[in-house]
Amino acid sequence: MRILLTDPILSRFAAELSHDGTDGHDWELLAGRPDAEIEDRLREADVLVASRMTPAMAKAAERLRLVHVTGAGYDRIPLDDLAPGVTVCNTFHHGRSIAEHVVMASVLLSRRVLRADRLLRQGVWESVAVDPSVRLGGTLAGRTVGVVGLGEIGRQVVRTTTALGMRARATRRNPDAPLPPGLDLDRVDGDDALGDLLEASDVVVLTVPLSAATRGLIDADALRRMRSDAILINVARGPIVDEDALYDALSEGRLGGAALDVWWSHPKDGGGARGYTRPFHELENVLLTPHHSGHTLETFTGRAGEIAANIAKLAEGEALTNVVRSPV
């Protein structure tokens, strides 16, 4: 089969994807190439491994059999423009990495490490040992984490935080669906119980996909239901949170802190390097990261292996895994 790889990150794992070139397929690495060139090459391609695809690319791909997205989100793949016979699959393997990021962010914010680091670089030693007015931080053990969404990321967040002694609760679309064994949750509610979760949680972690139902889910009213010392961690999609409402709550001291790994725009979309319009970078109670909470060697090694396995199944006529769009 003729396979095009356009994702710049997975291009680093070309050897794992092609089994060091011994898989018998014709791979073409096109990361960073102009869209027009990719459109032209797609006319002869059987498989596209990519994180994005334009409608023009989809219409040009007349013999395409499979689009394998290189991550979980497939919102940048124009499903409606693909030919009826094209299968679309995604892949994950980022849950543990993101869960560790959540723990790191929770500790940094609850112990005010960002402020302490900045001050010490300036020669200021701020500590309860020298200043009795400094507020003590706390451990994660004994606190409550509220997880909004219980997919792979949400489940890994529960496992990792409860291993440190936190209590966990969650909301999800179907609260009665069976849980994986060993998942320690105080309670699982439906989406209509989001307000109760916000009120009860010391740390709120957003892991739901972006959709019409979740866009603006955390608005001003939702933020008002959170505790004034609570922490909001968004590792899902930026527009799930109302940007203005979040900035106002943080800057006015109505929310303890926020860890933002996802934003309201992306440099790839021409939005500039920041991805936000309010000055979050001026706030001491915000941890800013460039959507890299899942970017670990383990994540991409796992993804490359799963994509390679799916391509092998396609060649053998076997059923694929993680299908998000079946041929019609």
Between CA 42 and CA 45 the distance in angstroms is: 5
Q: What value does the mean pLDDT take over residues 83-103?
A: 97
Task: Tell me how far apart the terminal alpha carbons of the chain are, to the nearest angstrom.
Answer: 21
Tell me the pLDDT tens digit for each residue of 182-194. 999 999 999 999 9
Residues near 258 by Cβ (< 8 Å), separated by ≥ 6?
109, 231, 232, 233, 234, 246, 250, 285, 286, 287
Q: How far is CA 290 from CA 29, 33, 203, 265, 293, in A?
A: 25, 23, 21, 11, 8
CATH class of 95-288: alpha beta
Residue 268 has pLDDT above 80, yes or no: no
Q: Tell me the C-alpha distance between 218 and 7, whole Å.
A: 31
Based on the number of CB atoms within 10 Å of its own CB, is 257 exposed (0-12), middle (13-18) or buried (19 or more)? buried
What pLDDT is attached to residue 98? 98
Pairing of strands 66-69, 47-50: parallel
Whether 114 shows a pLDDT value over 90: the answer reads: yes
Average pLDDT rounded to a whole number, residues 1-28: 97
Is a pLDDT exceeding 90 seen at residue 217? yes
In this prediction, residue 292 carries a pLDDT of 95
Task: Tell me which fold the domain 2-93+297-325 belongs to.
Answer: Rossmann fold (3.40.50)
Rg (CA), the chain: 22
Residue 267: predicted pLDDT:
87
Residue 75: pLDDT band by 50, 70, 90 thresholds? confident
Give the Cα separation of 263 and 250 in Å (integer): 16
* Cβ–Cβ < 8 Å for 162, 169: no
Residue-level pLDDT at 271: 63
pLDDT tens, position by position, 127-155: 999 999 999 999 999 999 999 999 999 99
- CATH 3.40.50.720 positions along the chain are 2-93+297-325, 95-288
> Which 3 state secondary structure label does DSSP give 152?
helix
